[in-house]
Amino acid sequence: MVFFCGSKMALLKSVLSLSALLFLFLSSAQAVEVSHDGRAIIIDGKRRVLLSGSIHYPRSTAEMWPDLIRKAKEGGLDVIETYVFWDVHEPVRRQYDFTGNLDLIRFLKTVQDAGLYAVLRIGPYVCAEWNYGGFPVWLHNLPGVKLRTANDVFMNEMKNFTSLIVNMAKQESLFASQGGPIILAQIENEYGNVMSTYGDAGKAYVDWCANMAVSQDIGVPWIMCQQSDAPQPIINTCNGWYCDQFTPNNPDSPKMWTENWTGWFKSWGGLNPHRTAEDLAFSVARFFQTGGTFQNYYMYHGGTNFGRTAGGPYITTSYDYDAPLDEYGNLNQPKWGHLKELHDVLHSVEGTLTNGNITNDDLGNSVYSTVYTTPEQSTCFLGNTNSTSDATFVFKGKQFTVPAWSVSILPDCQKEVYNTAKVNAQTSVMMKEPNKAESQPGSLSWTWRPEIVDDQVVLGKGHVAAHRLVDQKDAADGASDYLWYMTSVNLKDDDPIWSDNMTLRVNCTGQILHVYINGQYLGSQWALYGTFNYVFEKNVKLNPGNNLISLLSVTVGLQNYGPMFDLVQNGIPGPVEIEGRKGDEKVIKDLSGHLWSYKVGLHGIDHKFFGTDPASASNWQSKDLPTNRSLTWYKTTFKVPLGTDPVAVDLQGLGKGEAWINGKSIGRYWPSYDASQDGCSADPCDYRGSYDNNKCVTNCGRPTQRWYHVPRSFLDEDVNTLVLFEEFGGNPSLVNFQTVTVGSVCADAYEKKTLELACQGRPISAVKFASFGDPQGACGSFSKGSCEGSNDAATVLQNACVGKESCSIDVSENTFGSTTCGSSVTKRLAVEVTC
Ligand code: GAL
């Protein structure tokens, strides 16, 4: 099956003038094919081992893209994968936005300029821990619509958006068939996981998706992930932490992995997930041992959920994902470096892997060998999938030891060049430094203003009214996290409910509720992660006569995953009740069917309190700065931190809300929500055995997210403004700006390797520890072992590295002198340097 713009090529060939030749040279169409033996993706006749990484353009800024993509390329990637995010591109039906960090075309061109390929996952349902899975909420509110099924209203919108994206890319000649970088495109996302819920209509929808996609005529193959019945010619691909056991549904299809989860996302109240470099490399090596051709890291750079883009419920603003490039774009070492080495080895045997004859052998005790043979070369993989026992065995006449849960790669079947459990790359220990801008005072000075200015809101005047409680999505249409539900209740003192002991009870689906009675704050409640319905219940003082009940319901990211996820309720489904007690008797007044008035959003957002224009500058006061006051706006100015290191703001002391820098939202914040106490361990992480996101976690009992990324491009040269909208009440006095940088670097490299050390653009300033032999301990607590090289390792390192931005060390007795370790010890170099 060839996906190639044949007619275009023929036309070009027929006019082979000098200029046409030049055109061909500059942007020649590339044929992307699938080999009939299902063994490989073929680009321009070459069978490929393709290594790819997800970078989502709106989770960073356009200014960051070139650097992120360069680091991806240096890390050995061939391809960048991204979803397309419908809700931010079409926030209002038929009104589009492709500006700033939403400039998809610029992103794809940046990928192209770096000489990389792209995979365009149009979806347009994407999941991705993105608000509402990437669907605009207006879609849900279209009359007669049913999402992700055979429904004409939905299919019409989906086709409209898909065609828009395809045509934009075509117009810029971005498909490989036109000489562009896009080698594959994706339609839908993991629909196979939820399809059964939709019955026969689900299958009809998948078939429609396939036809609709193919009819777009993009000249490169389409994929669907986790869709075991993907209709031909769509290629079914795998997502997961491991995909070695995956087989596509069509024997012709190559074995492709669209999402190798490099870690996991984080939720408010959840722990920091970590997936080790060893385990990630193991999964990749096993995939290529078992016939894979394309593997993508989800995420390679996770980034930041700016604004209200975080999905949910309860996805944090940081989408770091423990990815090879961290949230700020720094190398996450040793992950980045350990994978780079693996990529280099895999690329070096590309021809053998994709053309060779395959011989698999089960060597017992969960150890497997695979030999790829071509007339020119044989390449061997030795995979030990046992999670506890290292394996020592003779293979092709030589003895090998393969640690538990690891794969050794022998490009020539003789010598182990890479083992997934042996990490030679440096570990970077990141640190945060205070803002060193000249004349930046130690603490910031703040002004404030209340959210509730006149009593208009709490007095019950909204935009629309209804005699029922409505779903927050229906009323807010995605325009805000905030929706006021307001009603009045008239009580006579002879009302059967009237008593001194009355309770207000509100049944909520989430995720946060702030309650005001007659304009006075009564209390707040929020759902704990995972239990998104709860009952607010509090004693309430009501007056004889009219009483105003104003409930501010707050969503923290709309559901992004699951069967019919779009129908999950939000807001206050009710009942809303007042209960009166007289002795043993209880009387309940149900307010659910009252006339409710609704107001979407906040006064301060309507009036752009977060903005930089003069209109938003007035009415801020510096006197009587309140702390622990609910629904309060705070504002301060600060100097841009010196240097070029990424910037973070420490929001310790605040409760929950949203933060803006110079009018741009850096996302929701919630530092007062501590991560759960349980699940962390003081022992080093034993990654062996299948990973899941509860393994190797950190941050127990600490704020789920204390630091928030402030992209440098959001900052002005001189004075900058930070505005916070605080919901629960907090104290901004501890807020401060910091830069994120490498503090120290460690390594524990094996003999016969070259160790590269770098402080990310800064000079290495001192050697804290160095020993070649059998050093003990881990980064930060290394100690010398029982044998050492005869040359002083610290002096060798001092001479080679101190004062330099990077250095390379040949880890061998040549460099460090002979040892008395004996031949049974594999010697290592342990190093710790400060930056
Ligand atoms: C997958 C999904 C991705 C992302 C991932 C978890 O199921 O396709 O979009 O949500 O899970 O990070």
137-146 pLDDT, tens digit each: 999 999 999 9
The residue nearest atom 6 of ligand 1, judged by CA position, is 128
pLDDT at 529 over 90: yes
Is the separation of the CB atoms in 699 and 640 below 8 Å? no
Ligand 1: which atom is nearest the Cα of residue 190? 8
- Assess whether the C-beta atom of 265 lies below 6 angstroms from ligand 1: yes
Ligand 1: which atom is nearest the Cα of residue 264? 12
- Residue 502 has φ and ψ, to the nearest 5°, of -115, 150
| Amino acid sitting at position 179 | G
Tell me the best of 132, 259, 309, 320 to mutate to test the pocket of ligand 1, counting ligand atoms within 8 Å of each CB and taking the most: 259
Instruction: State the Cα–Cα distance between residues 140 and 87, nearest whole angstrom.
Output: 12
pLDDT of 18:
38
- Assess whether the C-beta atom of 127 lies below 6 angstroms from ligand 1: yes
The pairing of beta strand 32-34 with beta strand 2-3: antiparallel
The residue nearest atom 11 of ligand 1, judged by CA position, is 128
Average pLDDT of span 575-588: 92
Instruction: State the Cα–Cα distance between residues 610 and 254, nearest whole angstrom.
Output: 50
Distances in whole angstroms, Cα of residue 583 to Cα of each of 1, 392, 431, 505, 677:
81, 79, 61, 19, 42
Q: Which residue has the tokens 């490498």?
A: 742
Pull the structure tokens for residue 473. Answer: 């999505």
Ligand 1: which atom is nearest the Cα of residue 83? 9
Ligand 1: which atom is nearest the Cα of residue 299? 12
pLDDT of 582:
83
Q: What is the dihedral of CA 421, 426, 427, 430, to 10 degrees?
A: -160
Tell me the best of 298, 319, 693 to mutate to test the pocket of ligand 1, counting ligand atoms within 8 Å of each CB and taking the most: 298
Pull the structure tokens for residue 504. Answer: 């207000």
pLDDT at 6 over 50: no
584 pLDDT tier (thresholds 50, 70, 90): confident
Q: What is the pLDDT of residues 203-231, one digit of tens each?
A: 999 999 999 999 999 999 999 999 999 99
Ligand 1: which atom is nearest the Cα of residue 193? 7
The pairing of beta strand 766-773 with beta strand 828-834: antiparallel
Pull the structure tokens for residue 171. Answer: 């117009």
pLDDT at 2 over 70: no
- Residue 198 has φ and ψ, to the nearest 5°, of -95, 0
Ligand 1: which atom is nearest the Cα of residue 129? 10
Q: Which residue has the tokens 């349980």?
A: 678
265 pLDDT tier (thresholds 50, 70, 90): very high
- Assess whether the C-beta atom of 190 lies below 6 angstroms from ligand 1: yes
CB atoms within 10 A of CB 132: 25
User: Minimal CA–CA distance to 637: which of 614, 661, 653?
Assistant: 661
Tell me the best of 148, 187, 194, 239 to mutate to test the pocket of ligand 1, counting ligand atoms within 8 Å of each CB and taking the most: 239
Instruction: State the Cα–Cα distance between residues 803 and 168, nearest whole angstrom.
Output: 49
Ligand 1: which atom is nearest the Cα of residue 225? 8
- Assess whether the C-beta atom of 110 lies below 6 angstroms from ligand 1: no
The residue nearest atom 3 of ligand 1, judged by CA position, is 128
Pull the structure tokens for residue 413. Answer: 């079947």
Instruction: State the Cα–Cα distance between residues 523 and 505, nearest whole angstrom.
Output: 12
Instruction: State the Cα–Cα distance between residues 247 and 716, nearest whole angstrom.
Output: 52
- Assess whether the C-beta atom of 315 lies below 6 angstroms from ligand 1: no
Q: What is the dihedral of CA 320, 321, 322, 325, to 10 degrees?
A: -60
Q: What is the pLDDT of residues 727-767, one digit of tens each?
A: 999 999 999 999 999 999 999 999 999 999 999 989 999 99
The residue nearest atom 4 of ligand 1, judged by CA position, is 128
Average pLDDT of span 802-811: 96
CB atoms within 10 A of CB 614: 7
pLDDT at 530 over 80: yes
CA of 128 to the centre of ligand 1 (A): 5
CA of 127 to the centre of ligand 1 (A): 6
User: Minimal CA–CA distance to 318: which of 307, 302, 299?
Assistant: 302
* Chain-centroid distance, C-alpha 447: 34
Interhelix angle 18-26/6-14, nearest 10 degrees? 140
Tell me the best of 85, 127, 261 to mutate to test the pocket of ligand 1, counting ligand atoms within 8 Å of each CB and taking the most: 127
CA of 587 to the centre of ligand 1 (A): 48
- Assess whether the C-beta atom of 237 lies below 6 angstroms from ligand 1: no
Q: What is the pLDDT of residues 25-73, one digit of tens each?
A: 446 888 998 887 889 999 999 999 999 999 999 999 999 999 999 999 9
Distances in whole angstroms, Cα of residue 159 to Cα of each of 126, 213, 818:
15, 9, 69
CA of 700 to the centre of ligand 1 (A): 24
24 pLDDT tier (thresholds 50, 70, 90): very low
How much of the chain exceeds pLDDT 90, in percent? 88
pLDDT of 456:
59
Q: What is the pLDDT of residues 763-804, one digit of tens each?
A: 999 999 999 999 999 999 999 999 999 999 999 999 999 999
In 3-state terms the chain splits into helix, strand, coil percentages (rounded to 5) of: 20, 35, 45
CA of 261 to the centre of ligand 1 (A): 8
- Assess whether the C-beta atom of 129 lies below 6 angstroms from ligand 1: yes
pLDDT of 36:
78
Ligand 1: which atom is nearest the Cα of residue 560? 10
- Assess whether the C-beta atom of 189 lies below 6 angstroms from ligand 1: yes
22 pLDDT tier (thresholds 50, 70, 90): very low
CB atoms within 10 A of CB 261: 24
pLDDT at 12 over 90: no
Is the separation of the CB atoms in 291 and 255 below 8 Å? yes
- Assess whether the C-beta atom of 591 lies below 6 angstroms from ligand 1: no
How much of the chain exceeds pLDDT 70, in percent? 96
Average pLDDT of span 415-441: 91
pLDDT at 401 over 60: yes
Pull the structure tokens for residue 217. Answer: 């005529």
Q: Which residue has the tokens 């509100």?
A: 506
Instruction: State the Cα–Cα distance between residues 266 and 111, nearest whole angstrom.
Output: 28
User: Chain-wide mean pLDDT for the chain?
Assistant: 94
Instruction: State the Cα–Cα distance between residues 76 and 344, nearest whole angstrom.
Output: 6
Ligand 1: which atom is nearest the Cα of residue 126? 9
Of 14-18, 405-409, 500-504, minimum mean pLDDT range: 14-18
Which one has a higher pLDDT value, 14 or 495? 495
CA of 560 to the centre of ligand 1 (A): 9
Pull the structure tokens for residue 366. Answer: 């969960």
pLDDT at 110 over 60: yes
Distances in whole angstroms, Cα of residue 194 to Cα of each of 145, 208, 378:
18, 16, 42
The pairing of beta strand 596-600 with beta strand 464-466: antiparallel
| Amino acid sitting at position 183 | I
Average pLDDT of span 591-616: 92
Pull the structure tokens for residue 109. Answer: 């061109």
CA of 353 to the centre of ligand 1 (A): 29
Gyration radius from the chain CA atoms? 30
Give bridge partners of residue 520 from the DSSP assignment.
517
Give bridge partners of residue 418 from the DSSP assignment.
409
- Assess whether the C-beta atom of 239 lies below 6 angstroms from ligand 1: yes
The residue nearest atom 9 of ligand 1, judged by CA position, is 128
Q: What is the DSSP string of 414-483?
A: SS--EETT---SPEEEEEEEE---TT--SS--EEEEES--SSTTTTT--SEEESS--BHHHHHTTS-SEE
Instruction: State the Cα–Cα distance between residues 577 and 591, nearest whole angstrom.
Output: 6
pLDDT at 10 over 50: no
Pull the structure tokens for residue 322. Answer: 């423990």
Average pLDDT of span 579-608: 93
Active site residues: 190, 259
Instruction: State the Cα–Cα distance between residues 284 and 292, nearest whole angstrom.
Output: 9
Instruction: State the Cα–Cα distance between residues 517 and 529, nearest whole angstrom.
Output: 27
Stated pTM of the model = 0.95
Average pLDDT of span 656-683: 97
Cβ neighbors of 714 (< 8 A, separation 6 or more) are: 61, 661, 662, 664, 666
CA of 761 to the centre of ligand 1 (A): 34
Instruction: State the Cα–Cα distance between residues 493 and 507, nearest whole angstrom.
Output: 26
CA of 129 to the centre of ligand 1 (A): 7
The residue nearest atom 10 of ligand 1, judged by CA position, is 128
pLDDT of 21:
39
Which one has a higher pLDDT value, 459 or 18? 459
CA of 237 to the centre of ligand 1 (A): 13
Q: What is the DSSP string of 523-537?
A: EEEEPPTT---EEEE
Instruction: State the Cα–Cα distance between residues 434 and 741, nearest whole angstrom.
Output: 11
pLDDT at 600 over 90: yes
- Assess whether the C-beta atom of 128 lies below 6 angstroms from ligand 1: yes
pLDDT at 439 over 80: no
CA of 737 to the centre of ligand 1 (A): 32
Can you tell me whether residue 210 is helix, strand or coil? Answer: helix
CA of 780 to the centre of ligand 1 (A): 35
Q: What is the 3-state secondary structure (H, E, C) of 261-300?
A: ECCCCCECCCCECCCCHHHHHHHHHHHHHCCEEEEEEEEE
pLDDT at 11 over 60: no
pLDDT of 457:
63
Which run of H or of E encompasses 709? strand 707-710
CB atoms within 10 A of CB 719: 11
Q: What is the pLDDT of residues 453-484, one digit of tens each?
A: 766 566 678 889 999 999 999 999 999 999 99
